[in-house]
């Protein structure tokens, strides 16, 4: 799906306001350059006040107003928060936690994803919406559900238990196969009959890891089934209207976005960087690179971000002047074709009344609203960017089933996969290198360097793909605790890195996790630093030792290894080098892969990304640092956001400054 321009707007909840406010909304939206709003997300109780009795009149008028104002609707299916009557009539739709506690109505998302009753009522509403609004002139996009899996990541109730058993039967066929896959000879867990199988509810001690992993897979499937149910209804009514559902940024553990992306026409993401965190834009960037990669570079939609403060962190900082603009352009630089916010008009009541909005409750003559208008005008003037694409030579591999498995309990030490990703992605970002974040089944052919942090769960298919990448001349960097188990949480025979032993030219004999806050000395070819989190007793089997541990029991043993294989080379890190040393390792590996930064000699803190389309190319420069930065361009270019029409070959960016240079 290609957008004619970069879309601008946000969530619009007119049901929270009397109708006489709507006309003012339309006027101010037009003045602010709004081109798309997400409507109806939480309107179920208003459009279906009693089961099967609909009140669509007010919503008709909302959509008519939007159409008259020339504003598109990202029309929600309204199923994210069922009305109170649903659980009054059918209490079994309410979800249960692992400890048996029921999650009651009073907030939102209080439904069991496996519930046939919820699904039936949701489907009935979506049929109504699709039939009624499928040809409405305001309709641009279907917004299915909202942030699936945000609050209820899994449900452990009896309805879910039955659905889990059905799912397991489909997967394994018979109980013997299930017993084998779940290693149930351990601790007398053997099942004699399907009726004995349950979700991994709160138990006396560590639960069965294979059961937990399958339950995570099942829960993702159960939630996805809610989405595809609605999606299929919409496709039947309106095959030409694109549809999406908004993912939670930077990346959300229960929802395998790679699988979900294939079920949508365009991927969208909600992103809430924390203004208190000086590295928050790097984390956000990881999420943007992931959603872009989820549909192989297709432009994506920034579906929500806060105009200023959120209300749901412990402490909620406003975005200082210029930050909203900077972070919005960052999303566009990294491939977004929409800059949308939560939400248009600040709520006067309810749990989000302290969340910022494009139109604060203090009105239009406010700092935030002025910045919104300025940004809206800039975005409108940059329409030519729509549809252009980002390209990357580097890929970082992320896998949801691995995420579910690697953070399991009763491991040598707790591991945080996102922290591992940050440690690898950050130095690449800081080096001004563009990186995709890809699933294990991605086509790796276009990448020079593939980075694989902590891929504990490794299938032979993924191992084969990594081997092929190196064999044909690619460079690979793998870090510790990789290739430990297969898809059923059984150890790979012979130990880690399992099916990658030949490629990496080494064998991990023992895991030596470091104590809490402990570090270990590292010597990388004369450069000294510390290893964090983890260490391993590695026996090289063909790999060359590039760095060693310099402390404690592992003194002198290999910490960083490199193995030539086919036309390429595979590197291994048996610890997590401290940030400075990690940067040095990654710079070295990147140099070997022949991956250059977007521009040479870029100042620290300046992010540089290119988008390409046909003969056009755009260079985005974003100053995330606190001091002005000057960038010399390889050739004169025009800044789409600048006041001058004349090309320049020297760009000076104030702190939070942005330039979009056409070449």
Contact pattern for ligand GLA over residues 435 through 464, marking x by CB under 6 A: ------------------------------
Query: Per-residue DSSP letters for 589-643?
Result: HHHHHTPPPSSTTPPTTEEEEEEEETTEEEEEEEE-SSS-EEEEEEEEEEETTSS
Question: At its nearest, how many Å lie between ligand GLA and the CB of residue 76?
Answer: 10
Contact pattern for ligand GLA over residues 222 through 261, marking x by CB under 6 A: ----------------------------------------
Question: At its nearest, how many Å lie between ligand GLA and the CB of residue 312?
Answer: 6
Question: At its nearest, how many Å lie between ligand GLA and the CB of residue 349?
Answer: 14
Other C-beta atoms lying within 10 Å of the C-beta of residue 604: 10
* Residue 161 three-state SS: helix
User: In this structure, what DSSP letter does residue 440 have?
Assistant: T
Question: At its nearest, how many Å lie between ligand GLA and the CB of residue 355?
Answer: 5
The residues pairing with 7 across neighbouring beta strands, listed in sequence order, are 338
Question: At its nearest, how many Å lie between ligand GLA and the CB of residue 351?
Answer: 8
* Alpha-carbon gap, residue 287 to 282, rounded angstroms: 9
148 binds ligand GLA (CB under 6 A): no
- Per the CB < 8 A criterion, the answer to whether 379 and 33 are in contact is yes
153 binds ligand GLA (CB under 6 A): no
Choose, from 15, 19, 24, 304, the residue flagged as catalytic.
304
Token pair for 661: 């240079």
Choice between 141 and 593, CB closer to ligand GLA: 141
Restricting to residues 539-598, name those near ligand GLA by CB under 6 A.
none
Question: At its nearest, how many Å lie between ligand GLA and the CB of residue 340?
Answer: 11
Choice between 246 and 550, CB closer to ligand GLA: 246
Choice between 273 and 440, CB closer to ligand GLA: 273
Choice between 310 and 560, CB closer to ligand GLA: 310
310 binds ligand GLA (CB under 6 A): yes
* Residue 80 three-state SS: coil
CA distances from 397 to 286, 457, 567 (A): 12, 12, 21
Choice between 316 and 617, CB closer to ligand GLA: 316
Choice between 343 and 482, CB closer to ligand GLA: 343
The answer to whether residue 127 is catalytic is no
- Per the CB < 8 A criterion, the answer to whether 115 and 159 are in contact is yes
Token pair for 284: 């956000």
What burial class does residue 407 get, using C-beta atoms within 10 Å of its C-beta: 0-12 exposed, 13-18 middle, 19+ buried? middle
* Residue 560 three-state SS: strand
304 binds ligand GLA (CB under 6 A): yes
- DSSP H helices, 337-390, are 367-381
- Listed in order, strand segments (DSSP E) in 258-320 are 268-270, 300-304
CA end-to-end distance (rounded Å), the chain: 25
Side-chain half-sphere CA neighbours of 635 within 13 A: 5
- Per the CB < 8 A criterion, the answer to whether 313 and 456 are in contact is no
Q: Convert 167-202 into a string of H (helix), E (strand) and C (coil).
A: HHHHHHCCHHHHHHHCCCCHHHCCCCCHHHCCCCCC
Token pair for 343: 């939400």
Choice between 310 and 359, CB closer to ligand GLA: 310
Number of residues that bind ligand GLA (CB under 6 A): 9
Choose, from 48, 147, 371, 487, the residue flagged as catalytic.
147
Contact pattern for ligand GLA over residues 355 through 384, marking x by CB under 6 A: x-----------------------------
Question: At its nearest, how many Å lie between ligand GLA and the CB of residue 274?
Answer: 12
Nearest alpha carbon to residue 296 among 389, 358, 207, 190: 389
Question: At its nearest, how many Å lie between ligand GLA and the CB of residue 541?
Answer: 49
Distance of CA 240 to the CA centre of its chain: 26
Choice between 10 and 453, CB closer to ligand GLA: 10
Choice between 301 and 586, CB closer to ligand GLA: 301
Locus of tokens 């064998």: 507
CA distances from 557 to 135, 300, 543, 589 (A): 68, 46, 13, 21
Token pair for 477: 């960097």
The residues pairing with 530 across neighbouring beta strands, listed in sequence order, are 521
147 binds ligand GLA (CB under 6 A): yes
* Alpha-carbon gap, residue 50 to 623, rounded angstroms: 53
Question: At its nearest, how many Å lie between ligand GLA and the CB of residue 352?
Answer: 6
- Per the CB < 8 A criterion, the answer to whether 254 and 277 are in contact is no
Which residues fall within 8 angstroms of residue 360, CB to CB, at 6 or more apart?
A: 308, 346, 366, 368, 369
Which residues fall within 8 angstroms of residue 474, CB to CB, at 6 or more apart?
A: 444, 447, 448, 449, 450, 568, 593
Question: At its nearest, how many Å lie between ligand GLA and the CB of residue 20?
Answer: 25
Contact with ligand GLA (CB under 6 A) among 163, 270, 337, 489:
270
- Per the CB < 8 A criterion, the answer to whether 35 and 369 are in contact is no
Question: At its nearest, how many Å lie between ligand GLA and the CB of residue 310?
Answer: 5
The answer to whether residue 304 is catalytic is yes
- Per the CB < 8 A criterion, the answer to whether 156 and 98 are in contact is yes
Choice between 69 and 309, CB closer to ligand GLA: 309
Rama region for 614: left / alpha / beta (φ>0; ψ in -120 to 50; rest) = left
Choice between 122 and 415, CB closer to ligand GLA: 122
CA distances from 660 to 291, 329, 561, 640 (A): 22, 9, 41, 5
Choice between 35 and 146, CB closer to ligand GLA: 146
Question: At its nearest, how many Å lie between ligand GLA and the CB of residue 136?
Answer: 23
Locus of tokens 């980075």: 451
* Alpha-carbon gap, residue 283 to 418, rounded angstroms: 9
The catalytic residue positions are: 147, 304
Q: Rule CB under 6 A: which residues touch ligand GLA? A: 146-147, 270, 272, 304, 310, 342, 352, 355
């Amino acid at each position: 799906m290609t957008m004619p321009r970069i879309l601008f707007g946000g969530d619009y909840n007119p049901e929270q306001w009397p109708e006489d406010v709507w006309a003012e909304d339309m006027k101010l939206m037009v003045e602010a350059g709004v081109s798309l709003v997400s409507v109806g997300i939480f309107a179920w109780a208003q459009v279906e006040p009693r089961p099967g009795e609909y009140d669509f009149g007010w919503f008709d008028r909302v959509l008519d107003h939007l159409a008259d104002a020339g504003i598109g609707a990202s029309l929600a299916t309204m199923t994210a928060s069922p009305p109170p009557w649903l659980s009054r009539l059918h209490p079994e739709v309410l979800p249960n936690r692992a400890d048996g506690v029921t999650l009651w109505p009073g907030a939102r998302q209080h439904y069991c994803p496996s519930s046939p009753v919820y699904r039936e009522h949701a489907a009935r509403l979506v049929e109504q919406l699709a039939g009624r609004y499928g040809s409405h002139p305001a309709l641009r996009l279907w917004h299915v559900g909202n942030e699936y899996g945000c609050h209820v990541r899994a449900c452990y109730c009896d309805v879910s238990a039955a659905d889990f058993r059905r799912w397991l039967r489909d997967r394994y066929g018979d109980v013997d196969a299930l017993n084998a896959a779940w290693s149930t000879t351990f601790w007398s867990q053997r099942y004699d009959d399907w009726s004995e199988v349950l979700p991994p509810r709160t138990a006396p001690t560590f639960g069965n890891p294979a059961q937990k992993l399958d339950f995570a897979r099942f829960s993702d499937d159960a939630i996805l089934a809610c989405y595809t149910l609605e999606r299929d209804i919409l496709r039947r009514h309106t095959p030409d209207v694109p549809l999406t559902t908004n993912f939670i940024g930077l990346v959300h553990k229960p929802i395998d976005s790679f699988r979900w992306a294939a079920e949508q026409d365009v991927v969208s993401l909600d992103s809430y960087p924390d203004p208190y965190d000086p590295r928050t834009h790097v984390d956000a960037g990881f999420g943007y690179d992931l959603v872009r990669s989820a549909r192989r570079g297709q432009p994506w939609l920034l579906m929500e971000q806060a105009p200023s403060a959120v209300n749901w962190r412990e402490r909620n900082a406003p975005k200082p002047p210029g930050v909203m603009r900077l972070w919005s352009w960052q999303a566009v630089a990294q491939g977004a074709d929409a800059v949308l916010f939560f939400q248009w008009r600040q709520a006067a009541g309810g749990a989000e009344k302290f969340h910022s909005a494009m139109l604060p409750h203090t009105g239009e003559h406010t700092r935030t609203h002025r910045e919104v208008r300025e940004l809206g005008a800039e975005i409108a003037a940059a329409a030519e960017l729509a549809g252009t694409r980002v390209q990357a030579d580097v890929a970082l591999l992320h896998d949801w089933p691995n995420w579910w498995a690697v953070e399991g309990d009763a491991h040598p030490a707790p591991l945080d996969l996102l922290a591992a990703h940050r440690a690898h992605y950050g130095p690449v970002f800081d080096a001004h290198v563009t990186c995709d974040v890809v699933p294990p089944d991605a086509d790796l052919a276009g990448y020079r360097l593939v980075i694989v942090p902590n891929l504990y769960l490794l299938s032979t298919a993924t191992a084969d793909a990594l081997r092929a990448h190196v064999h044909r001349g690619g460079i690979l960097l793998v870090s510790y605790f990789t290739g430990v188990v297969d898809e059923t949480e059984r150890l790979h025979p012979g130990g880690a890195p399992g099916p990658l032993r030949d490629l990496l030219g080494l064998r991990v004999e023992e895991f030596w996790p470091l104590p809490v806050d402990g570090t270990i000395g590292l010597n990388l070819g004369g450069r000294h630093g510390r290893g964090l989190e983890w260490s391993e007793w590695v026996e090289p089997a063909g790999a060359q030792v590039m760095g060693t541990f310099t402390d404690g029991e592992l003194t002198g043993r290999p910490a960083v290894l490199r193995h030539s294989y086919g036309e390429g080379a595979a590197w291994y890190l048996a610890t997590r080098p401290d940030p400075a040393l990690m940067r040095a390792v990654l710079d070295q590996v990147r140099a070997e892969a022949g991956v250059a930064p977007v521009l040479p000699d870029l100042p620290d803190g300046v992010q540089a990304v290119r988008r390409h389309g046909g003969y056009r190319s755009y260079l985005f420069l974003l100053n995330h640092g606190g001091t002005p930065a000057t960038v010399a361009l390889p050739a004169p270019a025009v800044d789409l956001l600048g006041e001058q029409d004349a090309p320049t070959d020297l760009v000076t960016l104030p702190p939070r400054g942005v330039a979009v240079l056409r070449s």
